[in-house]
Copies of this chain bind each other. A is one copy, B any other.
Amino acid sequence: MRLLRIGVDYYPEHWNKKEWKTDVLLMKDSGVNVVRMAEFAWSRLEPEEGTYDFQWLDEAISLFERHGIDVVLGIPTMTPPQWLSQHYPDSLPDLPDQHLSHPGVRGHRCYNSPSMRILTAAITKQMAQRYGSRKSVIGWQTDNEFSLHMCRCSNCLSGFRNWLKEKYGDLKTLNQEWGTVVWSGGFSDWEQIALYPTNERYFNPSLLLDYRRFQSQSVTSYQQIQIDEIRSHSRDQWITHNTWSAPLPLDLHELYDELDFASFDYYPATDPDKAKSNPYSGALLLDRTRGFKQQNFWVMEQFGGMPGSWMPVWRSPYPGFLRAFAWQSVSRGADGVVFFRWRSAAAGAEQYWHGLIDHSNVPGRRFKEFQQFAREANRLSDQIFGSEMQHKVAILYDFDSHTALQLQPQTEGYDYYEYIKLIHRSLLKSGVGVDILHRLDNLPEEYRLLILPSLFVADEESASHIEAFVRKGGTVVALPRSGVKQMNNQCWMKPLPGPLSSIFGVSVKEYDPIGSHVHRIASLDGHSYECSYWCDLLEADTAETVASYDCDFYKGTPAVTRNKLGQGEAFYVGTFPEESYLKALFTRLCNNLDIEVYPDLPEGIHMTRRIKDGTEYVFVLNLSREEQAVSLKQRMKPLLVDDDITKKSIDSLTLSPYGVAVLEL
């Protein structure tokens, strides 16, 4: 069935069978065509070690089948049962965030625990054997919301030592790569390599970066157990994993390598104080998800009600909010939108993470919006399904750089990811579509503009990819703290931006980490802009100055430079300018590069395109609390405007708060 998938996350194990029947009828009636189940149900599927009980799940799947609803099954390994934690204490991680080191929550499992790996293979095998050829089971979700664990258990420690032996061969090489001579930190025995539950900033940053790489790969290799078991027993079923916006970076590019497509759990903030930034940061998360495999994706948990539980309950969503943000997922490449969750849990720690239906079991306003979205999406499914996004602008998100910058914050207030948000937002506000890349090798031909936000860790190979891109006519923009570190997290002993200097034709004479102080830069045309966090004082070599500092003792010193190289141009932005500077810069570059811009998009209007066989489906969403008017430049055929279906072609439209338009071009 080639269609947009509209679904819900459902927990049959929480409700009695009478409720199942009422629920499935209401789902069917509402337009649901898929449910995700079982991802937290290990204790019900394997109540004792080796004793399995699939009857209830069989019944549930059959019930959905009878009503024409397909199923996605989650491997329930995020919630090891009490018996598992009790009998295999090595399955519990040893984490700084202690609540995950104990059973009864979720996530209480060490990825490197041998017992955990064996029992994971066993439950996955049982599920895959049983449902691998079941037609209504269309796909699988590995585990749930993997996150990087800074586990210090003995299995992780010995795993890390082995990983290092593999990587470095001998201690002499390791000592050299890590620069352990400093502070007499050299290792003379592998057993000396250890991890301590304490302030990491005093420890060797090369060790710390490698440890995070190791732990990220531990997640990937743990997931591979599940993938292998599923693939051995399944036919025509896809496998995905649902990530979330975690505080610690995980190398998600690696994580998705062996999966069919990416999925994301999307909870846009309902707080009106966040109403301005929220749809843009949400757009970035969706774009990032699409970027993991450069293809369409699913939202496996779409906002269905107010989160709450370990934090206070969120604000109630504004009318239209729930539907509009579901459309936002589709508008940025989602082919499946599965709402979390059908009904709020009456028990357990997650009681206040609200579902589409409240504890009262009386469907209310949010449920009606969900039904509206489902109806609309089903109606447009034939047209939209199969369409894809095509962009000429890309931002590089680099796992190593993000991680290394988290390990060693450079200046007060600066956050690698937060500034990517600002870059991304400055492009979206001009209607420019952006892809998020994770690697510099194999840069697709289509890209014309590549943005490098603090490519902190970079080597000669990174430099050669970037240089090739520019020489062939691309434009690259780099931000400060690029080219600072070698892959081993030692500093480059060259003028900054280190191995990238020749591309940008510039070198950093000195720098001023201004932190929370606000400075100013002036562009050549006399405009003045604020900048923050960091000021590189530049010395142009082959480059020319585009903007200079406008304050402090280095007033007049170059702040932004442009270097022509081959067919292309390389901009070095030596500070972190405010959004309006980036918007002006990127608009100018897009104009030069024949990339369409909408420089006057009102605040909160998100415009995207999905393309199929030459037809463009244009999504115009008003993700704000105010009515907004949008000029389209071209006439388009409305497929959906607000909640009307209109027929005549239009070249402008007015959207009510949280209004949605889908147009055909």
CB nearest neighbor in B for A489: B347
Q: Are A496 and B350 in contact (CB under 8 A)?
A: no
Smallest beta-carbon distance A90→chain B, Å: 17
> A104 — which chain B residues lie within 8 A by C-beta?
183, 185, 194, 196, 203-204, 207
**Residues B510 and A358 in contact, CB atoms below 8 Å apart:** yes
What class of interface size applies to chain A in its complex with B?
Answer: 35 or more
Q: Is the CB of B48 within 8 A of A184?
A: no
CB distance from A405 to the nearest CB of B (A): 11
Query: Which listed residue, B181, B314, B359, B553, touches A492 by the CB 8 Å rule?
Result: B359
Interface residues of A in 469-506 (CB under 8 A from B): 490-496
CB-defined interface of A381-419 with B at 8 Å, one 1/0 digit per residue? 000000000000000000000000000111110000000
Q: Tell me whether B202 and A310 are in contact (CB under 8 A).
A: yes
- A359's partner among B40, B192, B198, B493 (CB-CB below 8 A) is B493
Kindly identify which residue among B181, B361, B492, B553 contacts A43, using a CB–CB cutoff of 8 Å.
B181
- Chain B residues lying within 8 Å of A507, measured Cβ to Cβ, are 360
A81-89, A131-139, A427-435: which lies at the interface: A81-89
Could you say which residues of chain B place their CB within 8 Å of the CB of A553?
318-319
Distance of A309 Cα from B200 Cα, bound (Å) = 11
A500-548 with Cβ < 8 A to chain B = 507-515, 517
A197 at the interface (CB under 8 A from B): yes
Contacting pair B189 A83 (CB below 8 A):
yes
Could you say which of B83, B191, B319, B362 contacts A188, with CB atoms under 8 Å apart?
Answer: B83
Which residue of chain B has the shortest Cβ distance to A272 in the bound complex?
B517
Whether B194 contacts A346 by the Cβ 8 Å rule is: no
Q: In this complex, which of A181, A188, A310, A314 has the most chain B Cβ atoms within 10 angstroms of its Cβ?
A: A181
Given the interface contacts A183-B106, A198-B99, does A412 sit within 8 Å of B349 by beta carbon?
Answer: no
The distance in angstroms between the C-alpha atoms of A319 and B512, with both chains bound, is 12
User: Within the complex, which residue of B44, B312, B344 is in contact with A184, where a contact is CB–CB below 8 Å?
Assistant: B44
Chain B, residue nearest A535 (CB) = B316
- Roughly how many angstroms separate A114 CA and B241 CA in the complex, as a whole number? 51
B203 touches A105 (CB 8 A): yes
CB-defined contacts of A515 to chain B, threshold 8 Å: 312, 315
In the complex, whether A13 has a CB less than 8 A from a CB of chain B is yes
Known A-B contacts A186-B82, A188-B47, A514-B315; the reply to A105 vs B202 at CB < 8 A is yes
The reply on A103 being an interface residue by CB < 8 A is yes
Q: Does A442 contact B (CB under 8 A)?
A: no
Min Cβ gap A246→B in Å is 16
Chain B residues with CB below 8 A from A308, complex form: 410, 513
Interface status of A345 (Cβ within 8 A of chain B): yes
Known: A192-B86, A408-B309. A351 touches B491 (CB 8 A): yes
Could you write out 7 A-B pairs with CB less than 8 Å apart? A105-B203, A179-B348, A180-B347, A201-B349, A316-B513, A319-B553, A360-B495
Other contacts beyond A11-B182, A183-B348: 11, CB < 8 A? A14-B181, A80-B184, A81-B184, A99-B202, A315-B513, A315-B517, A316-B510, A346-B493, A347-B490, A360-B507, A361-B493
Q: Which 5 A-B pairs have the closest CB atoms?
A: A179-B347, A182-B348, A43-B184, A316-B512, A98-B198
